Structure 1
Amino acid sequence: MPSLSKALQLINNMGWRYVSFRAMHEAKVRTGIFKKAFPQDPAFQQFISLAEWKKLDVAFFMNGRDGVDLTGKALPAELAKSFEELKEGWFRFFSSLSYNLGSNYDWITNPDTGFKYGAQKHWTQINDYSQEAGDIKFVWEKSRFSFLYTIIRNDAYTGEDHSEWVWKEILSWIDANPINSGPNYKCSQEISLRVLNWTFALNFYKDTTSLTEDIFQRIIFSIYWQLDHVYKNIDFSRIAVRNNHAITETLTLYLGGLLYPFFPKSALWKEKGKKWFEEEIAYQVYADGTFLQFSMNYHRVVIQLLTWAIRLAEVNKESFNAVVYERAQKSLEFLLSCMNLKDGWLPNYGNNDGALFFKLNDADYRDYRPQLEALSRALGFEWKYDKCEDSIWYGITDRNTEGGTVETKIGLSQFKDGGYYIHRQDGILTFVRCGNHKDRPHQADNLHLDIWRNGINYLHDAGSYKYNTDNAQLKYFMGTQSHNTIMLGDYDQMEKGARFIWYHWSQCESVQTTDNEDYFIFEGTIKAFQHVSKNIRHYRRITVSKKKPEWLIEDRILNKPDALEMHQLWHTKHLSKLNFVAQLQNKEQIAPLIREGYYSDYYGKKELCSEIVFTTKADTISTRITIL
């Protein structure tokens, strides 16, 4: 049980609404109220015939497969490879790992651990955080049905028709996952993504002869109950989670009501979903375009959802509150400020679970250009960088770009709401985080520094690896050690609680920047290590030379306990290309400890890097870093 002080801190950080909701939610689970609210065996009913559905006055991105003109264009080699692998039973997980699930996968076995969940158990009885079962995301991954885009894109390029394969996969899932039962009904965001991906497939293959009345009815019946589940459990995402899950689910309710107007609850879902989606965007995307999860990858998730929202509303002659379009544009400006122009990669900052909801191209997972281009053009902006395929699928190939352009900015870009300070010049990108946290932080990484030059990430962030693994791995990747900042002894900047909870949130107290002909200078102070001592502050000064690839970083810990050592940490995959010289205030040099560290460019995959550590019992370290 947490101490009284931690309990009070949790209430202070998250609010009484959060705490009371979690308590009430748990009570509903334990008493069986949720079991009654989410039936497992509802009677089958028909909502609309296939012929009537095809005549609906409802628009999608494309009107059947003829609405996507890719025939005659060469089949991309990477797509051809992915398609052949899929035919052989190999499925891509988290945009990197591959598992051979075969053609008769049961949809409930974790391929990473071999653990098999109970398909007949009510979803409230499924433990999604079990050491024995492993990371439940490995079960959810195929059940998202993102792999359908590989089949759909192949058919668009080649003119082939693999719709029977698509229906077989969907019906197999329906048979293996009784309504409101098993692990694949545990998370409403996963349900939402599945509905969106099935919807995409239905609209692309709507005129195929393989789509029979029986297949259509079974899919539509399942979609209805999945949307019903999302609606009934929406408060969990809007109150207890309040992140990209809530944005996904509220948008899915709006689109469910819009695209399936024949369901009894469609009008309610559409009205509430739209209202809630607008509220979530206004709350979660800050006025400067940064995102409350402090994660590049989850921000891209929002970019994709905004593209779906804006385009599907537009083609159906609807629109959102102005704040949705404003925050969409600001999001583009922020992410472009962080983007490496050479390959579209961004710092691997914040939580990163490998999510790429709608893969409509063959670019690397870390390349953000396809998604940023699609939203940019959906908003009416000209895209000045490499063109990608996504926009074709969203039906915006001939988009009017009278809105101007959004592009990267040379010099300093400040995003004070999110706490990001980015300087770009002569192929060099310096990225610093110095943030306040009014919303929960996910990694103990304040004052982290990322350095890029000519497309190479010389000093990097480690990423996430896995959300459900052993404590040592969780501490490393979520904690301070995997970031380019300071540790005191073995203490993280904040105190770790259960799962995604942190106590003693670090907070920015001051930032000052100076930009002159020779240098860019960042100075920031954070309140950190409050579980060690309430008076501790971390001051960091970064001087970026404009004449050569060199950075001078001065770290000072104010009110540092004498007994604790101060560790300045750096992480790189390019040790031979860097020179580090560190010294104390008296000019005495400090020898580095160079040891193995880890990074995870892709969720579930851990790789070695070099971890450089400068340690002292003094309170100040100054380090000059030069790219050779």
Structure 2
Amino acid sequence: MKEKSPACGRTKVTRLPGRCLLMPSPTAVPLPYPTTSSSVFPGLHSGLCNPSRPGKRSLSDPEVDKPTVIPLQKGLLLIRELGLKQLLPYAAYQVKLRTGFFRRATPTGGWRSAVSALDGPACLSPFSCLESDQFNKLELAAFIAGADEVLHGRYHPFGGPSAPLTLALAANSLDHWTHYIDSFAGEDIKFTWEPARFTWVYSLAVAGKVSGDAGYAERFWKNLEQFTSHNPVNSGPNWSSAQEVALRLLPMLFAWQCFENLPSTTKERVQALTWLVEQSARRISATLDYARSQNNNHLLSEALGLIMAGTLFSGRHPLAKRWTEIGFGEFEHALLTQVEPEGTYSQHSTNYHRMILQLSLVYYAYAQKNRRVISKSVLGRLAAATHWLEEFTDPVSGSASNLGHNDGTFLLPFGASDYGDVRPTLQAASLAFLHHPAYPPGPWDALALVLGIPLPNSDQNPPLVSNFIHSTHRVGDEKCWGTLRAVTFHSRPAHADQLAVDLWWEGVNIALDAGSYLYNAPPPWDNALARTCVHNTVSIDGQDQMLRTGRFLWLKWTNAQYTPQTDENSRSAFMIWRTDPPIRHIRNLTFLPGKGFKVVDELIPIGIMKKPGRADLHWLLPDWGFKLVSKGIFLDQNDRSINLEIAADLPAGQDSDLQISLVRAGETIAGTKDDPTRGWYSPTYCAKIPALSMVVSSPFSAPLRFVSTWKLNTLSPK
């Protein structure tokens, strides 16, 4: 008999502070694994990965999570690790911000228009001029359902559950944009920005184009008018980020293209939209130095915004040529500096990686329209970036590992079955940058179709030989695979996740990366899932691998390296902890064909340890039925089961005081509760669902070895 734990078998859904939703079984964001209730066998000797008791520091101890760093030390570390080339433009931006320069340079209400007469955007947007019968190749049901929700005033923020669509801000008057940084009306500013990204427009535009129903077009124009009347140019939070200003131009141009021949698309409305595009380009130009100082997806987004405006106003605005040239130049330079030769993106995030590939596909479409030749070096980086995302994508489900920051960005939803589906992006990027499809024909062709990227002949299949066996970090086959993360940082780390392992089995993510959940909430949810202790790796004495000095800032970067590969089924890497004495952590991930995986961790002190340390091995597991057993944990779901066995080897003469902690949704099942952020998986921003956080902890003063054996079984049909 299985005994129900107090935390298991619930289906509660509660509203958290702000607008976030606790989702035990979400519908709008399908999980990379099925869920069920959980059980635990009692009577097992279990302790705690990081017990809150004298002599032991909790994972949430402020002394651990928020170490004291004097300003001079922080400044020197910033110069050493980021460099003056990146810091000086940021310092210049701050000076202009604090002295009122930007307030004077970006006047409330905007600039006087210099746009001359403008024709329709059919040939001036990145989108292909699709006829209604071509739109029928898209998955129309989802678009029409989404459009009908918008008609009723609702949409799906961050690809999550339905929520009210609000474009009118809750304020009687708005200050200049320089007054708004991280929050508006006391809440995370991302909740204000999300509806103003206008990604809900795609559903309206496709539904209106196919059905001919003028109501969809009218709703777009009404919503746009509501936005412009309640968000005056350069006033309020929706003008505080030039990146946000740029991103909303793309869906607006798509809607204009789809609705241009309908009666509701009047001359006056077109003039209002073109004026908004012009004002947006001027706002982007004013603070482009900030985007350069960040040198991340901000710069790519804003450069693309200038390309969009410059192309639209070509020959009709005195600044159009300048905007286009600056946009292309900045975008291409950013790709060469942000994408490593092997394809790694500087922000170390699969979701941001998808984002920059989608931005690059739009850039590619504009380059074709402007007859701009893309250099071989830029195309080489885009090809490498495409390969990189493919290696982190599950061939069965189409989802990618939840690596790094996940802020819910999904700019172009065409062809995706859900928020996590990256196949349309991979298909379009493969066709554009690798010159072959990533997948056989299917619904994931939609993004390429919309952007005018030629689809292959039906007899052209994806390459037969997978690149996975040549990957430095991936093992396995198409149905059962895993990755071992090891990075030498050339840009700011996102998470302290060196040597983290991610495992997939027949479309199910069985060793999960927790994601992000929230960036700007009060503790403990101030980007808490960036810490080492919630990743599938080993932490020492409750410390992070690097020094955390802000929500998004890690200093004292800890690099990791792969060791030479001798077996296609095995990957190894190592890092060195900045402890006293330093400790070398060596991790090996081995794929066992037909059986599962083995993960071996070795902790080797480089010198004599003056006092014993504590090693915590963490695994984040799917929310399946479970039993704690003497050697680990047994999980089962429908016809599948996982037996995870963990052993610790210590030198002769040392006792193994192995302790086990199991937490689900912040509630302790075994051991003593220590961290409310454990036992959660965040599939997108502002959404979190229960998972099983298991920690095996052991003291050590000499070399320690953990062995985690994953035995995967499928029950035979009766």
- Normalising to structure 2: TM-score of the pair? 0.79
CA distance in 1, matches of 2:514, 2:465: 24
2:247 is the counterpart of 1:193: yes
Structure 1 residue 3, shift from structure 2 partner: 3.6
How big is each residue's C-alpha offset from its partner over 1:409-455, in whole Å with a ceiling of 9 and x where there is no partner? 2653335xxxxx01122621110101111100010100000111111
Q: Is the 8 A contact 1:581 1:589 kept in 2?
A: no
- Residue 69 of structure 1 is matched in structure 2 by 134
Q: Is the 8 A contact 2:404 2:515 kept in 1?
A: yes
Q: How does 1:324-403 map to 2 (within 5 A)?
A: 324-379=378-433, 380-385=435-440, 386-388=442-444, 389-396=446-453, 398=455
Q: In the TM superposition, what are the counterparts of 1:410-421 in structure 2 within 5 Å?
A: 412-414=469-471, 421=473
**1:580 match:** 645
Question: Which deviates more from structure 2 when the two are superposed, residues 586-595 or residues 217-226?
Answer: 586-595
2: CA distance, partners of 1:343 / 1:358: 19
Q: Which residue of 2 aligns with 1:112?
A: none
Distance 1:408 1:90, change over 3 A: farther
Q: Note the alpha carbon deviations across 1:521-553, whole angstroms, 9 max, x for none.
A: 32211133x3x4473332222333235213132
Distance 1:253 1:85, change over 3 A: same
Aligned twin of 1:620: 704
Pairing 1:555–2:602 present:
yes
CA distance in structure 1 between the partners assigned to 2:454 and 2:86 by the alignment: 44
1:231-242 mapped onto 2 (5 Å cutoff): 231-239=285-293, 241-242=294-295
Residue 409 of structure 1 corresponds to 466
**Quick one: which of 513, 519, 527 aligns to 1:467?**
519
TM-superposed CA distance for 1:606, in Å, is 1.2
Question: Does structure 1 residue 18 correspond to structure 2 residue 86?
Answer: yes
CA distance in 2, matches of 1:199, 1:521: 48
**2: CA distance, partners of 1:468 / 1:88:** 30
| Partner in structure 2 of residue 436 of structure 1 | 488
1:221 maps to what in 2? 275
Residues 539 and 558, structure 1, Cα contact 8 Å, conserved in 2: no
CA contact (8 A) 2:520 2:527 kept: no
1:145 is matched with 198
Residue aligning to 1:544: 591
What CA distance in whole angstroms lies between the structure 1 residues aligned with 2:417 and 2:651? Answer: 50
Aligned to 1:294: 348
1:598 aligns with 2:680: yes
Write the distance in 2 (CA, Å) between the matches of 1:230 and 1:306. Answer: 18
* CA distances 1:253-282 after superposition (whole Å, capped 9, x unpaired): 123212221222111111111111110011
Superposed, 1:137-176 pairs within 5 Å as: 137-161=190-214, 162-176=216-230
Please report how far the alpha carbon of residue 558 of structure 1 lies from its aligned counterpart in structure 2 after TM superposition. Answer: 2.6
CA, structure 1 residues 154+11, in 2 after alignment: closer, same or farther (shift >3 Å)? same
Cα pair 2:128 2:452 within 8 Å, conserved:
yes
User: By how many angstroms is 1:328 displaced?
Assistant: 1.8
State the shift of 1:384 in Å: 2.7
Which stretch shifts more, 174-183 or 536-545?
536-545
Contact 1:494 1:505 (8 Å CA) reproduced: yes
Tell me, yes or no, if the aligned pair for 2:541 and 2:615 is still in contact at 8 Å: yes
Contact 1:337–1:408 (Cα < 8 Å) also in 2: no
1:7-31 deviations in whole A, cap 9, x for unaligned? Answer: 2111111111333333322221121
Does the 8 Å CA contact 1:44/1:221 hold for their aligned counterparts?
no
Residues 373/591 of structure 1: CA separation in 2 closer, same or farther (3 Å cut): same
Asked whether the equivalents of residues 151 and 219 of structure 2 are also in contact (C-alpha less than 8 Å), the reply is no
Q: Give the CA deviation at 1:509.
A: 4.5
Is the Cα–Cα contact under 8 Å of residues 177 and 184 in structure 1 kept in the other structure?
A: yes
Task: State the alpha-carbon separation in 2 of the partners of residues 546 and 474 from structure 1.
Answer: 40
Aligned in 2, Cα 1:33/1:391: closer, same or farther, shift over 3 Å?
Answer: same
Question: 3-state DSSP class of the match of 2:709?
Answer: strand
Decide whether the 8 Å contact of 2:514 with 2:680 is kept in 1: yes
Match of 2:120 among 54, 58, 76: 54
- RCO comparison, higher one (Cα < 8 Å, 6+): 2
- The answer as to whether partners of 1:61 and 1:315 remain within 8 angstroms in 2 is no
Letter in 1 for 2:696: F
Write the distance in 2 (CA, Å) between the matches of 1:373 and 1:196.
20
The root-mean-square deviation of aligned C-alpha atoms, in Å, is: 2.6
CA distance in 1, matches of 2:82, 2:111: 40
Q: CA distance change for structure 1 residues 410 and 128 in 2, over 3 Å: closer, same or farther?
A: closer
Q: Which amino acid aligns with 1:81?
A: A
Is contact 2:167-2:195 (8 Å) kept? no
2:143 maps to what in 1?
Answer: 79
In structure 2, how many angstroms separate the alpha carbons of the residues matched to 1:6 and 1:390? Answer: 44
Pick one of 608, 611, 615 that aligns with 2:693: 611
Please point out which of 521, 526, 540 is paired with 2:570.
521
- How far apart are the structure 1 equivalents of 2:547 and 2:492? 13
Separation (CA, whole Å) in 1 of partners of 2:297 and 2:495: 17
Larger mean CA deviation between 334-343 and 294-303 belongs to 334-343
Mean CA deviation greater in 84-93 or 229-238: 84-93
Report deviation, 1:312.
Answer: 2.4
Mark the CA change 1:373 to 1:407 in structure 2 (over 3 Å): closer, same or farther: farther
Identity %: 25
State how far apart, in whole Å, the 2-side matches of 1:566 and 1:471 are: 25
**TM-score (structure 1 length as normaliser):** 0.90
Residue 286 (structure 1) shift = 1.1
1:369 Cα deviation from its structure 2 partner:
0.4
Residue among 306, 310, 327 paired with 1:257: 310
Does residue 497 (structure 1) correspond to residue 536 (structure 2)? The answer is: no
Assess if the C-alpha contact under 8 Å between 1:188 and 1:233 holds in 2: yes
Deviations 1:77-99 (A, max 9, x none): 43333222222211211001321
1:33 — aligned with what?
101
Work out which of the residue numbers 76, 80, 89 in structure 1 matches 2:153.
89
Q: Cα offset for 1:593?
A: 2.1
**Alignment correspondent of 1:418:** none
Closer/same/farther in 2, CA of residues 75 and 179 from structure 1, 3 Å limit: same
CA apart distance, 1:61: 2.3
